[in-house]
């Protein structure tokens, strides 16, 4: 349009469009905005060539520099793995008891075990490894299956009552009440007998109780109820109870037994990870 019409009031050119006598003013975009916009378009074209951008049927255009966020992650993970590679191999090659003698290796194993514990163990044992009813506290000095580093390592590797591992830690307390192996009176007197070992309220020792304990319990819990870690028979003489440390609690367990299970971690995590976990758990303060 050679002859631009200038609006009298504003002094601005019009677009030449007119509706019912109303004319449209032509107020173009600021130059800087326009050039920024063109710059963005140019950048977007360049970006879509350089980086993955255009969706195809099964994937997307790869881009000329072949960037992939997955590949970046893999690279970072590989670098992180490589950074600890030597020590992981070293842990795998070292008997677990010897790891404790190597301060640097033990420090690494403890740190690794701590993070593994958070992922795999804290669901049952708690983030502070304090456990709860039915899930043992790993900070104390009571160990159902033994508290040496080797025993902890074995328990972790094969699990407890794990169906997946034939070498798993296994025992089963009979249902003395539910299966009618003992009468209600007998359960009452043996429960009082057991309660008396650790000074639980209501605990009374009696000749029948001593006899019943010797006949039914001592095989797994030891002659005086001191516990047999080899068989996984918990000590009945101390202040730590897996379920309930009261007379009623003991009776309940005698009537209808409860048992915990733990997965066999050896097959799932590999020996190196299990060793790290063992070192960590052993170092929580109760390790023997």
Partner 1 sequence: MLADQPTPERIDVEPVNSPKQRQPLYAARKKIFPRAVSGTFRRFKWLMMLITLTIYYVTPWIRWDRGPYATDQAVLVDLENRRFFFFFIEIWPQEFYYVAGMLVMAGIGLFLVTSTVGRAWCGYACPQTVWVDLFLAVERFIDGDRNAQMKLDAAPWSADKAVKRVSKHAIWLVIGVLTGGAWIFYFADAPTLLVEVLTLQAPPVAYFTIALLTATTYTFGGLLREQVCTYMCPWPRIQGAMLDEFSLTVTYSDWRGEPRNRHQKKAIAENKPVGDCIDCNACVAVCPMGIDIREGQQLECITCALCIDACDDVMTRIGKDRGLISYTTLNDYNANMALATGSTGDLGTIEPNRIRDAAGKLIDKVKHTNWRSIVRPRTIVYFLGWSAIGLALLTVLALRSPLQLNVLHDRNPVYVTLKDGTVRNGYEVKILNMTPTPRVIAVTLDGLPGGSMSMVDSRGTTSQAISVELEPDKVLPLRLYVHADPAQLEAAKTRFQITVTSVDGLTAVADVNFEAPETAR
Binding site for partner 1 (CB under 8 A): 126-130, 137, 139-142, 235, 238-240, 283, 285-288
- Nearest distance in Å: CB 249, partner 1: 14
**125 Cβ neighbours under 8 A, 6+ residues apart:** 117, 131, 135, 136, 137, 138
- Nearest distance in Å: CB 288, partner 1: 7
- Nearest distance in Å: CB 14, partner 1: 40
Which is nearer to partner 1, 15 or 239 (by Cβ)? 239
- Nearest distance in Å: CB 26, partner 1: 37
Q: Where are the alpha helices (DSSP H) in 121-233?
A: 122-125, 149-158, 184-197, 207-216, 218-221
Per-residue burial over 30-67, b = 16 or more CB atoms within 10 Å of its CB, e = otherwise: eeeeeeeeeeeeeeeeeeeeebbeeeeeeeeeebeeee
- Nearest distance in Å: CB 217, partner 1: 19
Which is nearer to partner 1, 26 or 246 (by Cβ)? 246
Which is nearer to partner 1, 151 or 235 (by Cβ)? 235
For 80, 87, 113, the CA distances from 76, given in Å and listed in that order, are: 6, 18, 21
Asked if 235 contacts 213 with a C-beta cutoff of 8 angstroms, the reply is no
Which is nearer to partner 1, 194 or 264 (by Cβ)? 194
Which is nearer to partner 1, 177 or 227 (by Cβ)? 227
Asked if 137 contacts 129 with a C-beta cutoff of 8 angstroms, the reply is yes
């Amino acid at each position: 349009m050679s002859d631009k019409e200038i609006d009298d009031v504003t002094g601005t050119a019009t677009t030449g469009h007119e509706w019912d006598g109303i004319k449209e003013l032509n107020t173009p975009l600021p130059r800087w905005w326009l050039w920024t916009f063109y710059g963005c378009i140019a950048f977007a074209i360049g970006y879509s060539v350089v980086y993955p951008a255009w969706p195809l049927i099964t994937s997307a255009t790869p881009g000329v520099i072949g960037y992939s966020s997955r590949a970046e992650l893999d690279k970072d993970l590989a670098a992180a793995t490589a950074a600890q590679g030597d020590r992981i191999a070293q842990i795998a090659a070292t008997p677990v008891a010897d790891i404790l003698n190597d301060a640097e290796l033990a420090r690494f194993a403890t740190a690794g075990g701590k993070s593994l514990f958070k992922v795999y163990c804290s669901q049952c044992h708690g983030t502070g490894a304090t456990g709860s009813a039915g899930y043992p506290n790993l900070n104390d000095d009571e160990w159902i299956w033994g508290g040496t580093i080797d025993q902890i390592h074995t328990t972790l590797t094969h699990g407890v009552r794990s169906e997946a591992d034939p070498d798993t830690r296994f025992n089963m307390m009979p249902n003395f009440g539910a299966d009618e192996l003992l009468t209600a009176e007998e359960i009452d007197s043996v429960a009082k007998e057991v309660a008396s070992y650790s000074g639980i309220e209501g605990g009374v020792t009696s000749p029948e109780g001593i006899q019943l304990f010797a006949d039914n319990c001592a095989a797994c819990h030891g002659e005086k109820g001191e516990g047999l870690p080899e068989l996984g028979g918990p000590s009945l003489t101390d202040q730590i109870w897996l379920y309930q440390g009261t007379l009623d609690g003991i009776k309940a367990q005698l009537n209808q037994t409860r048992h915990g299970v733990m997965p066999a971690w050896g097959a799932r995590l590999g020996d190196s990870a299990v060793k790290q976990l063992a070192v960590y758990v052993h170092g929580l303060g109760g390790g023997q």
